[in-house]
Amino acid sequence: MTPSSWTDESTGNDDTERRYWHMLSRYERLLEISRNLNSTVVLDDLLEKIVLAAAHLTDTEAASIMLMSRDGTLRFEASVDSAGVSLDSIEVPLEGSIAGWVVRNGQPLVIEDVRNEPRWSSTVDDSTAFQTRNLLAVPMHSRDKVFGCLEAHDADFSEDDVDTLNTLAAQATVAIENARLFEQSDLIAEMVHELRTPLAAIKATTYLILRPELGEEKRRELVDTIRNETDRLTRMTTEFLDLARLESGRTRLAENPVDISRLLKEALETVCTQAEDCKLDLELVLIPEDAAMVVTGDEEKLKQVTLNLLTNAVKYNREGGQIWLRAQLESDRILIQVEDTGVGISAENLEHMFEKFYRVADSEGYTSGTGLGLAITKRIIEGHGGEIGVDSKVGEGTTFWFTLPLPGIEEGDGGSSTGQP
């Protein structure tokens, strides 16, 4: 054996040994990451950790994760690049995209240059500042189906990278399923807790109503109590199912043209009698008055949102007060506001208004309603690509507002800033 061959053999051994220790280090990191993922039950936090781990393990700056929703759509849910972590949800086409191909075929894919790849879809790049050059995409298997795709971007990917990302995808799948189960069980636990109050009231009332010394007038009051608590239970279970379907993706929002001007007029007419009983003045304001305000969405759900905000404005207003329902056409969206002259909401309560089962006590310290209406409202608006918020001053009134994007306007286009002007 010549000295040169000794060098070649030595170099080869060095390369093998370096690769061995590199892979060993990766799998040690994978074990640590696996423990970290399985201890995280908040889905957004978990998605952030997954994309950070994918970028770290493949020695890249950028990674992303796409998940299948229960309505059959593939959605880009989280990413990390040089600008930081993003948790925007963007629909990705199943046909004509790399992620869609990976999900449909259940196989990993390495693309050296996306510009020369017919399966490449620029949907996500067009919605973000990041521009993909090449990528590694692996499927996320759950039992007998693929429910997502994990990608690392912009590096010279090796077979070791494919194996590593496949392993991470398997660990991430288990963690995501656990987080979703935790969310469902947490929601059910909250629901059971909330059901106890009306059930306890009904049970106590049934004992009282059987007392022989009870007068007829008092007996009628107790019957009314049972009726009211039963109605509350019915509303609560209906809204709970509505929210559960929205959160799980089982409710698919319609995508039809919706005339917002007409929808608001119909909603105002619906609450007119209720407002008159409280001597409230209702006013519809359209800006500009003759503008065509048409969005793409689910008319029934958007009317549900508007009616919920209007009935709250009636309920928490002062007798003889006012309610303004405004719609303003902007460059890329429609801004809708429901303003009242009611008692207002304290800063302490404002930050919790859209939480499940949260209710603000009235002036006498009592709470009413199911505490789910605003949580459902928020889900519906976000499902339409809009935003929702509330502004209020104690003693002066409250304004709930939400936005709806105009058809053909991509997220980030246009001149309006997010939130209420």
| Segment of 29-33, 49-53, 86-90, 414-418 carrying the highest mean pLDDT | 49-53
d(C-alpha 282, C-alpha 320), whole Å:
11
Same domain, 164 and 36: yes
Instruction: Report which of residues 275 and 195 the model is more confident about.
Output: 275
Any domain includes 223: no
CATH number of the domain at 390, please. 3.30.565.10
Q: What is the pLDDT of residues 145-169, one digit of tens each?
A: 898 999 999 888 888 889 889 889 9
- The pLDDT, as a whole number, for residue 362 is 53
d(C-alpha 306, C-alpha 327), whole Å:
11
Same domain, 40 and 140: yes
Q: Pick from 182, 204, 220: which residue ends a domain?
A: 182
Number of domains in the chain: 2
pLDDT above 50 (res 244): yes
Same domain, 49 and 169: yes
Two structure tokens written together for 286: 């359209």
Same domain, 175 and 260: no
What pTM was estimated for this model as a whole? 0.54
Any domain includes 322: yes
Q: What is the pLDDT of residues 18-28, one digit of tens each?
A: 766 766 777 77
Same domain, 8 and 143: yes
Same domain, 49 and 131: yes
Query: What does the mean pLDDT of the chain come to?
Result: 81
Q: What angle do CA 383, 385, 390 make, to 5 degrees?
A: 90
Any domain includes 375: yes
pLDDT above 60 (res 367): no
Same domain, 178 and 262: no
Burial 292-317 (b: 16+ CB within 10 A, else e): ebebbbbbebbbbbbbbbbbbbbebb
What pLDDT band is residue 72 in, cutting at 50, 70 and 90?
confident
Any domain includes 140: yes
Helix (H, G, I), strand (E, B) or coil at 189: helix
Any domain includes 212: no
Mention every residue, 6+ apart, whose C-beta is less than 8 A from residue 420.
Answer: 335, 337, 389, 391, 399, 401
Instruction: Report which of residues 112 and 333 the model is more confident about.
Output: 333
Judge contact between 79 and 63, C-beta under 8 A.
yes
Range of the domain at 160: 3-182
What pLDDT band is residue 180 in, cutting at 50, 70 and 90?
confident
Same domain, 155 and 264: no
State the Cα torsion 402-404-410-415 to the nearest 10°.
Answer: -60
Same domain, 175 and 286: no
Taking the alpha carbons at both ends of the chain, their separation in whole angstroms is: 80
Two structure tokens written together for 191: 């629901």
Q: Pick from 162, 182, 202: which residue ends a domain?
A: 182
pLDDT above 50 (res 131): yes
Per the listing, tokens 């046909």 go with: 95
Any domain includes 67: yes
Any domain includes 279: yes
Sign of the Cα torsion 40, 46, 48, 52 reads positive
Q: What angle do CA 314, 318, 323 make, to 5 degrees?
A: 45
Q: What is the mean pLDDT of residues 282-296?
A: 89
CATH number of the domain at 139, please. 3.30.450.40
Same domain, 283 and 400: yes
What pLDDT band is residue 122 in, cutting at 50, 70 and 90?
low
Same domain, 404 and 265: yes
Any domain includes 222: no
State the Cα torsion 95-100-101-106 to the nearest 10°.
Answer: -140
pLDDT above 90 (res 242): no
Instruction: Report which of residues 142 and 153 the model is more confident about.
Output: 153
Same domain, 166 and 281: no
Q: Pick from 121, 152, 182: which residue ends a domain?
A: 182
